[in-house]
């Protein structure tokens, strides 16, 4: 199937769920993104600052760019002028830097906190307790140029679908807990970014509001 057909296929699949499609275009050339754009796709996810800034310069200005990778503090300045949503914030120090760069551009940058839900050593993210500490912290309350709009998580890469489901369910529970129990001017829990090509159906069933789909739209990646 073509990229255009894949986009249409996902639009149908997600119709009736609460989830919005973020097309993960990392490593893919501009023409692939343009094909998706012409099929109506406006939200794209990238995980390398350099690729993201280049694509944002070369491609249409009404694209919503999502940063989905691990973001280094010294690179925040390059994406601060235009980034739509940063999905994987995993420290207070990073939030402080995003706030500082957002202020320079007179913007409020929306961020998701990355929660570590997988049974794997390699993935980034905070534990549920660390998230709770962070949202209560005095430092956070002072950051007027960021807004925390939700959580992001990646399930374990396994064929055990019960495990994947319970990891997503746990993330949803934390999301609901924070939604009812935190009150800070810069926190508004509305986005739950979970689900990729291999597990988006389960993620949607467990309450995802944003799925990040790469290979099922653009084909396998050659790194
Ligand atoms: C690459 C990536 C995706 C997309 O993965 P696919 O399996 O190709 O859909 C989603 N989320 C993150 C954080 C990624 O790095």
What are the tens digits of pLDDT across the range 53-88?
999 999 999 999 999 999 999 999 999 999 999 999
Cβ–Cβ under 8 Å, residues 45 and 87: yes
Distance of CA 152 from the midpoint of ligand 1 (Å):
12
Ligand 1 atom closest to residue 47's alpha carbon, by position in its atom list: 15
For residue 188, tell me if it sits in a domain: yes
Distance of CA 144 from the midpoint of ligand 1 (Å):
30
Q: How far is CA 3 from CA 9, 216, 223, in A?
A: 10, 9, 19
- Tens-of-pLDDT digits for all 223 residues of the chain? 899 999 999 999 999 999 999 999 999 999 999 999 999 999 999 999 999 999 999 999 999 999 999 999 999 999 999 999 999 999 999 999 999 999 999 999 999 999 999 888 766 899 999 999 999 999 999 999 999 999 999 999 999 999 999 999 999 999 999 999 988 999 999 999 999 999 999 999 999 999 999 999 999 988 6
How close are the terminal C-alpha atoms of the chain, in Å? Answer: 22
Residue among 19, 6, 1, 76 at smallest CA distance from 194: 19
For residue 220, tell me if it sits in a domain: no
Query: Phi and psi of 183, rounded to 5°?
Result: -135, 110
How far is the C-alpha of 140 from the C-alpha of 63, rounded, in Å?
29
Give, using CA atoms, the residue closest to atom 4 of ligand 1.
Answer: 214
Ligand 1 neighbours (beta carbon < 6 A): 24, 26, 47, 68-69, 196-198, 212-216
Distance of CA 16 from the midpoint of ligand 1 (Å):
23
For residue 162, tell me if it sits in a domain: yes
For residue 20, tell me if it sits in a domain: yes
Check which CATH number belongs to the domain holding 92 and give it: 3.20.20.10
- How many domains are contained in the chain? 1
Give, using CA atoms, the residue closest to atom 12 of ligand 1.
Answer: 68
For residue 221, tell me if it sits in a domain: no
For residue 222, tell me if it sits in a domain: no
For residue 82, tell me if it sits in a domain: yes
Please, what's the b/e burial string for 2-22 (b: 16 or more CB within 10 A of its CB; e: otherwise)?
ebeebbeebeebbeebebebb
For residue 219, tell me if it sits in a domain: no
Distance of CA 100 from the midpoint of ligand 1 (Å):
28
Ligand 1 atom closest to residue 213's alpha carbon, by position in its atom list: 9
Q: Which domain holds residue 72?
A: 3-214
């Amino acid at each position: 199937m073509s990229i255009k057909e894949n986009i249409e296929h996902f639009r149908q699949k997600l119709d009736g769920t609460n989830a919005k499609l973020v097309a993960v275009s990392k490593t893919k050339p501009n023409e692939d993104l343009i094909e998706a754009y012409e099929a109506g796709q406006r939200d794209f996810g990238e995980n390398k600052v350099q690729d993201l800034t280049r694509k944002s310069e070369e491609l249409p200005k009404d694209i919503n760019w999502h940063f989905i990778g691990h973001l280094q503090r010294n690179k925040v300045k390059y994406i601060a002028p235009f980034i739509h949503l940063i999905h994987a914030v995993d420290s207070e120090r990073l939030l402080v830097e995003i706030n500082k760069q957002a202020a320079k551009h007179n913007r409020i940058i929306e961020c998701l906190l990355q929660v570590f839900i997988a049974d794997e050593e390699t993935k980034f993210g905070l534990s549920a307790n660390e998230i709770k500490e962070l949202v209560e912290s005095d430092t956070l309350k002072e950051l007027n140029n960021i807004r925390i709009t939700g959580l992001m998580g990646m399930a374990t890469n396994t064929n055990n679908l019960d495990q994947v489901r319970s990891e997503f369910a746990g993330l949803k529970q934390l999301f609901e807990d924070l939604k009812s129990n935190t009150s800070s001017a810069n926190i508004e829990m509305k986005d739950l970014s979970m689900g990729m090509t291999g597990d988006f159906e389960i993620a949607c069933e467990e309450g995802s509001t944003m799925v990040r789909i790469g290979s099922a739209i653009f084909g396998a990646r050659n790194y």
